[in-house]
Amino acid sequence: MAGVVVVGAQWGDEGKGKIVDWLSHRADVIVRFQGGHNAGHTLVIGNKTFKLHLLPSGVVRGGKLSVIGNGVVVDPWQLLEEVDGMNREGVALGPDDLIVADNACLILPWHKDIDAAREGALGDSKIGTTKRGIGPAYEDRVGRRAIRVADLTDPAALDLKIERLLAHHRPLRAGLGLDEPDGKALKQSLLDIAPKILPYAQPAWKKLSDSVHLGRRILFEGAQGVMLDVDHGTYPFVTSSNVVAGNAAAGSGVGPGAISYVLGLAKAYTTRVGAGPFPTEQDNETGRRLGEQGHEFGTTTGRARRCGWFDAVMVRQACATSGVTGLALTKLDVLDGMDEIRVCIGYRLGDEVLDHYPAGMTDQHAVEPVYETLPGWSASTRGAREWGQLPAEAIKYVRRLEELVRCPVALVSTSPEREDVILVRDPFAAD
């Protein structure tokens, strides 16, 4: 049995969709374990582009079981929209192909209302959420008032759950200037969608337990990036769940012994969507060039991503908190043609030079990057599938990042195309 967790080692958008899809042909089961449809994974397969938000990236591989784990907050309407979209593209997803954990919590229309109203009220202090209700849904989950997938089978339970929700949401919505919540309308909309969702609902933990005992290969797919983790990220400019690899176990219902390898993904440079600190950001021609060459627009929001140099301090910290075994470096080809490339190797804060990202919000905004400059390369790396196809300076760049991050590179992605990957070490074949 092999269990491989894939996590982003930056602020998300590291190319997890492609890498998970590429790895999934080695796997039997692919599991999403946290987040919601605020995730955005783009897969380029031949002449087709798939944009997924809630579905595991492995759904485009035939003969694989995809699982949405209990750690995910599920918008049932979004889920059906994605399933229908895949069907239109010739990828049929039935209950034998897709499981939704019956103990996963639902995102409701009320959650979206609250998310948008709060973000709008914050003005210049806004977090930069996708306004899709993820944070408020997790709040209800922790507050023990969430509606779960299994509740869709029980109208009487829905009445009790909705009453608990109303007790919280009535004053909250009133304070935000929103309309009175309509419990009857919510119940009816849930009952209407239930027959379409429930065929996919199962005890996911049980199916995964059986897979572990049968020696199946399981691929655990994270969303966002470790620096957006609610505990270990740039708080409060973070997501509302634990992104770190340790949550793969809790968010899918398996024990930690089911995980044998953690693959951390990082771009060969750095990007961020939305607000929050970004020490290596290049709000200049370099940043614009990286954005144009890398087509840096959010899959979920469409917003242009902020771009900057590779931050080895941040990635090293992300790898440490997630126990990363090997690194997957993506978008190396975006750096083609640069005369020189800079890498952040420390942070200056006052008279100190830090080797880690500070926890305090003020300090996170105040740090200044300490750079090391490396030579660029003029030859193209795009489409390379072997080390020998890379320019010597590109290889030196990758090796230097390994040293700075203190983690060996397992994969290098050289284009958005599915098979354009240099495999150094197969995570499923690791000892």
The catalytic site residues sit at: 13, 41
Alpha-carbon 378 to chain mean position: 32
Q: How far apart are CA 316 and CA 347, in angstroms?
A: 13
Amino acid at residue number 377: W
Packing angle, helices 109-122 and 155-175, rounded to 10: 20
Measured on CA atoms in the order 312, 317, 318, 322, is the torsion positive or negative? positive
User: Of all helices (H) and strands (E), which one includes residue 116?
Assistant: helix 109-122
The 8-class DSSP code of residue 152 comes to: G
Collapsing DSSP states into helix, strand and coil, what is residue 343? strand
Check: CB of residue 75 under 8 Å from CB of residue 47: no
Residue 271 in contact with residue 9, Cβ under 8 Å?
Answer: no
Residue pair 314/401 in contact by the 8 Å Cβ criterion: no
In angstroms, the first-to-last Cα distance of the chain is 11
- DSSP line for 163-228: HHHHHHHHHHHHHTTPPPP-HHHHHHHHHHHHHHHGGGEE-HHHHHHHHHHTT-EEEEE--S-GGG
